[in-house]
Amino acid sequence: MNKAEILIIDDEPQIRKLLQINLESNNYKVIQASTGKEGLALSANHLPNLILLDIGLPDKNGQQVLTELREWYNNPIIILSVQDNETDIVTALDHGATDYLTKPFRTGELLARIRSAIRRSQNTKNITSIICGDIEINLVTRQVKKNSETIKLTSTEYNLLALFAKNEGKVLTHQFILKEIWGYSYQNETQYLRVFVGNLRKKLEINPNNPQHFITESGVGYRFQ
């Protein structure tokens, strides 16, 4: 039985009610806040396993609430918002959001994102290997296998794959990936990144033209699943 506690920070009563019904029917504990100030207080008092945060709050901008939370809160934060422009999405992800869903959203997709985020946050310590479907990554030996067959990767390709795998299910922005793998001076080289993701798809996807692992989030970045 699920024991995870989720904090909803949203000023729309009908959205909070809908989320509460769906989350509690999946055995999550739910607490609610209608303002940013209330959400910050509840998050400090309860330390929930995950926060669902609306950007359009009446007292504080959700991006500001996200920034304040990330000063001390390390668990997943999923943004829920009617704002779907790339700037808002990238800003939220770069400031520590775990994921981003636009309203209206499908309940099944939200629940899947929640499960993935909580599972990842609970299993990030002392990891020596990662298995994602038919791909196995040994973080100690740097060996990668697909269907038990060893796949030869360049050093950069491996580093990129390991970054994706350690953040499985999370949207990584172009700028974040480029900074982590190549450094600050490469943060605008999105074409450079596209080439390396293409190489990984050729080596690890069944059909590189219809990827199942390396998913493009248009205008934002990539998600590994």
Q: Cβ distance 118 to 50 under 8 Å?
A: yes
Q: What is the pLDDT of residues 50-109, one digit of tens each?
A: 999 998 899 988 899 998 998 888 889 999 988 777 788 888 888 889 899 888 888 999
Q: What is the pLDDT of residues 40-49, one digit of tens each?
A: 999 999 999 9
Question: How far is Cα 140 from Cα 118, in angstroms, rounded to an integer?
Answer: 24
Q: What is the pTM of this model?
A: 0.67
Beta bridge partner(s), residue 137 = 130, 144
Q: What is the pLDDT of residues 110-155, one digit of tens each?
A: 999 999 888 877 765 556 788 888 889 988 788 999 998 999 999 8
172 or 183, which is more confident: 172
pLDDT, position 16:
94
Q: Cβ distance 11 to 58 under 8 Å?
A: yes
CA 82 to chain CA centroid, Å, is 18
Percent of the chain exceeding pLDDT 70 equals: 97
pLDDT, position 1:
46
**29-50 per-residue burial string, b: 16 or more CB within 10 A, e: under 16:** ebbbbbbbeebbebbeeeebbb
CA triple 26-212-220, angle to 5 deg: 85
Question: How far is Cα 143 from Cα 163, in angstroms, rounded to an integer?
Answer: 14
Q: Cβ distance 141 to 132 under 8 Å?
A: no
pLDDT, position 203:
95
Q: What is the pLDDT of residues 13-47, one digit of tens each?
A: 999 999 999 999 999 999 999 999 999 999 999 99
Is pLDDT at 214 greater than 90 in this prediction? yes
Fold of the domain built from segment(s) 5-122? Rossmann fold (3.40.50)
Question: How far is Cα 189 from Cα 195, in angstroms, rounded to an integer?
Answer: 10
Is pLDDT at 170 greater than 90 in this prediction? no
Which sign does the torsion angle of CA 209, 165, 147, 123 carry? negative
CA 106 to chain CA centroid, Å, is 17
Nearest partner of 200 among 152, 134, 167, 168, judged by Cα: 152
Q: Please, what CATH class does the domain formed by 129-224 belong to? A: mainly alpha
Question: How far is Cα 157 from Cα 125, in angstroms, rounded to an integer?
Answer: 23
CA triple 72-74-80, angle to 5 deg: 105
Task: Please give the average per-residue pLDDT across 200-224, as a whole number.
Answer: 92
Is pLDDT at 187 greater than 70 in this prediction? yes
Q: Cβ distance 117 to 168 under 8 Å?
A: no
Domain ranges of the chain: 5-122, 129-224
Using left for φ > 0, alpha for ψ between -120 and 50, and beta otherwise, residue 169 falls in left
Give the strand pairing for 99-102 and 77-81. parallel
Q: What is the mean pLDDT of the chain?
A: 88
